[in-house]
Amino acid sequence: MKNIFIEIVKGLERKEKLALATIINRVGSAPREAGAKYLVKKDGTTIGSIGGGCVEADVWQEARKTMEKGEGNVLHFNLTSEQLAEGGLICGGNIDIFLEPIMEDSLNIYREVLKVRQQGGSGILATVISVDGVFPKMEGVKEFIKASGEKTGSLFWGKDLGERILGEAERVLRERKLEVLVISSEEAGRPWKKIEILLEPIISEPTVYIFGAGHISQQLVPLVKKVHFKTVVIDDREMFANRDRFPEADEIIVSDFKKSFERITIDNSSYIVIVTRGHLYDGLILEMAVKTDARYIGMIGSKKKIQTLYQNLLKKGISRGGLDRVHAPIGLDIHSETPEEIAVSIAAQLIMKRRERLA
């Protein structure tokens, strides 16, 4: 699937008209969660999804009007049983979708958003949804605030209100969950009665570091790329770790496993997959992996092999708590046997871990 932020940047560079739909609220079991996006271009092509069926059909129609008028609005959907049957969906619930025209003056903002997504870091994308219930047709309705405090774009409020927004943005970024902030004139001392601002956390794409460039890794890389993980393949053999075998990998590192951690940055958005060619290398990498802040660590192997490795690491001073973080045997238990099946089980476990709320 194409990256929506890449397509927004490309479209704005070509001065195309675009409309972006974002789910800002979900109640019940609607098909997509808050934050899901759906981009509609002037030629009618679309990228992303907010659930498919009747919802996307209606949003597509409204998006055409949004692009022409340059006006955004919030669409409310109550997914009744009748709508579900017509649209081929099997889930219900209520969703609110913010539909906005993407204006040319937002190009630099989205370039910075894309840079954070691709190169690391985090920030908050702040967008004015409405002022007294009406979408503001003016410049300065969008701003990107990096975690460092650096800003791109400028919202039209003054310093005092800006400080309030900055404080809320820091909280939303910590929680990593978008929020619609509602501020009344009593709080802000402004001529309008109420302003609604969408605060969206922008986090760098999670990176899967795959140690070992064998058959399982070959099957795993294209799978995790399709579900929007960055992938880095690491092996000490160039005849295995190369672009011919891994054309879709974001990066390939040929390095002695002992020194490989010196060339990568592991943080809470990192996922470590250990599928090397032998117990010695697996144990070596695992010893280094449990000392990091990686969000996920998984290692292939039989229960007997894993127990042996654990005992060796415990003798070397690795804590039991550190080892308890490890998913071993790796992957969801779907009785997989072939490299393709094992890759599916690993990819599914990575997705499940990514969906968990951060503590």
CATH number of the domain enclosing 349:
3.40.50.720
Integer Cα distance of 91 and 279 in angstroms:
45
Asked if residue 186 and residue 172 are part of one domain, the reply reads yes
Number of H helices, E strands in the chain: 12, 16
If one counts every other C-beta atom within 10 angstroms of the C-beta of residue 294, the result is 20
Q: Percentage of the chain with pLDDT > 70?
A: 90
Question: Is residue 131 a part of any domain in this protein?
Answer: yes
Asked if residue 248 and residue 229 are part of one domain, the reply reads yes
Show which of 59, 81, 102 is a domain's final residue: 102
Asked if residue 222 and residue 160 are part of one domain, the reply reads no
Range of the domain at 127: 113-203
Specify the pTM: 0.69
Instruction: Supply the pLDDT for residue 359.
Output: 35
Question: Is residue 108 a part of any domain in this protein?
Answer: no
Q: How many domains does the chain have?
A: 3
Asked if residue 62 and residue 157 are part of one domain, the reply reads no
Instruction: Supply the pLDDT for residue 51.
Output: 79
Instruction: Supply the pLDDT for residue 85.
Output: 47
Nearest CA to 298 among 216, 198, 200?
216
Instruction: Supply the pLDDT for residue 1.
Output: 45
Question: Is residue 342 a part of any domain in this protein?
Answer: yes
DSSP 18-62: EEEEEEEEEESS-SS-TT-EEEEETTS-EEE-SS-HHHHHHHHHH
Instruction: Supply the pLDDT for residue 152.
Output: 93
Instruction: Supply the pLDDT for residue 81.
Output: 46
Asked if residue 196 and residue 183 are part of one domain, the reply reads yes
Instruction: Supply the pLDDT for residue 138.
Output: 66
User: Residues in the chain with pLDDT < 70?
Assistant: 1-2, 29-31, 80-92, 138-139, 156-160, 186-191, 357-359
Instruction: Supply the pLDDT for residue 358.
Output: 42
Instruction: Supply the pLDDT for residue 171.
Output: 92
Show which of 65, 81, 102 is a domain's final residue: 102
Q: Are the C-beta atoms of 4 and 15 separated by less than 8 Å?
A: no
Asked if residue 340 and residue 214 are part of one domain, the reply reads yes
Instruction: Supply the pLDDT for residue 29.
Output: 64
Asked if residue 117 and residue 89 are part of one domain, the reply reads no
Instruction: Supply the pLDDT for residue 192.
Output: 73
Question: Is residue 107 a part of any domain in this protein?
Answer: no
Integer Cα distance of 34 and 139 in angstroms:
26
Task: For tokens 């978008």, name the residue.
Answer: 178
Instruction: Supply the pLDDT for residue 32.
Output: 74
Greatest distance between any 2 Cα atoms in the chain: 70
